[in-house]
Amino acid sequence: MENQKNLFERSKQLVPGGVHSPVRSFKGLESTPRFMEKAEGAYIQDTEGKSYIDFCMSFGPLILGHKNSKVEKSLQQALKKGWSYGACEPYSLELAEYILSRIPFLDQIRFVNSGTEAVMTALRLARGKTGRDKLLKFNGCYHGHVDSMLIKAGSGLAGTSTASSKGIPKNVAEDTLILDLNDEKALQECFDVHGESIAGVIIEPLPANNGLLIQNPDFLKKINSLCKANGSLLIFDEVISGFRVNFSGMAHDLDITPDIVTYGKVIGGGLPVGAIAATKSVMETLAPVGDVYQAGTLSANPLAMVGGLSTLQQLDEATYKKVDDNALKIEELFNDWFKSYENGKFSHYKIIRYKSLFWFAPNNSNLKSIDDIPQNLTQEFLPLFETLLEKGIYLSPNAYEIGFVSLAHDSEVLKDLERRLYN
């Protein structure tokens, strides 16, 4: 049996940095990435046979847990029929009808292959619908690796920006405005200057990629009102929060109707998927009806459609309550352990939680924007991550990533978690 270190050395020769996504790297850690070969329920197992309670859960899609029996059965049945057609098929219709019949502010949906692709399409759609070029985003929100979204704040006039990655043309950065979260004054000033040029405003209504930065609802409602007043489209990026906080996402919790919503993760039940949804008048700006082009060889892949439908069909009010109850108990368990472990070694931590999403956050902090996050967050997180990994508790190896609770994190798993924490 090849150990983790040897696997990683092999991988580094074949793959940049040894990983297919930077968030999987163990950068700054003494140990190497774990190569996982199987999973079930709330557990994931590496190639050496070590089992971990998983709170990464494939970065969010697995709200029912790994290898949910109903999802597995539906996938097996679909696989027997075929796994890619490159033609129209009934599976996407079933998933679309199920979603649209339950979310009243959406008329149409188009399935793609990832959250990044969904965002890319939503931005192009906003520009095509409005005939404008500028986009507004916020520090602390992540929208995939689309060029126009890999942007950081510049200097000078409110909202100016520069690229945060090499390989992004200067003119792309210039068309993306960027502001800090929870800053209504800067938001108003930006619209005062650029309002007539802004095609769309994109935001995670529950920012969950630079920590869990739960926003003041009034700030989000201010964005919505300014969009309406200026003819800009409001885009809710619910790739993470969609179908996880509840079936209708943060739009429901905030009582805000966005113009466009992007989805991913839960919507495919753990298979590669993304989606864009809006009213018919907006969506029919897309080809072949409209002039905004979008296409994809594997879009609405039948396995992803079947897996997604089987997942969503299990997400009733009782399921959401069970998942949220599991998360509350996990929050309490970790918060108690932070105080007691090795005379309070990790007492400077607390859990910030929104339903089944949680973040290991600095204690005694009011965290609404990335400027509120201590600069030493990663340095402080590494020993905590290593400690939990050794105890068989798996998180994303990044201080800014959040954790996810599933239906499978039940009372038996909670007992095992307590045992692992205190042994």
| CATH class of segment(s) 69-312 | alpha beta
To the query of whether residue 265 is one of the catalytic residues in this protein, the response is: yes
Surface-to-core class of residue 77, CB atoms within 10 Å of its CB (0-12 exposed, 13-18 middle, 19+ buried): exposed
Single-letter amino acid, residue 301: N
Catalytic residue among 142, 349, 394, 400: 142
Q: Where are the beta strands (DSSP E) in 204-273?
A: 233-237, 260-264
pLDDT, residue 160, reads 47
pLDDT recorded at residue 366 = 83
- Catalytic member of 129, 265, 350, 368: 265
Domain ranges of the chain: 69-312, 317-375
pLDDT along the chain (423 residues), means of 10: 80 84 76 89 95 97 98 97 94 98 97 94 96 94 77 48 64 83 96 96 96 96 98 98 97 97 96 97 96 92 97 98 98 96 92 97 86 90 94 94 97 98 94
- Which run of H or E residues covers position 118? helix 115-130
Q: How confident is the model at residue 246, as a pLDDT?
A: 96
CA distances from 381 to 32, 168, 176, 215, 401 (A): 16, 31, 32, 23, 11
Which residue among 46, 237, 320, 394 is the active-site one? 237
User: What's the token pair of residue 124?
Assistant: 């192009």
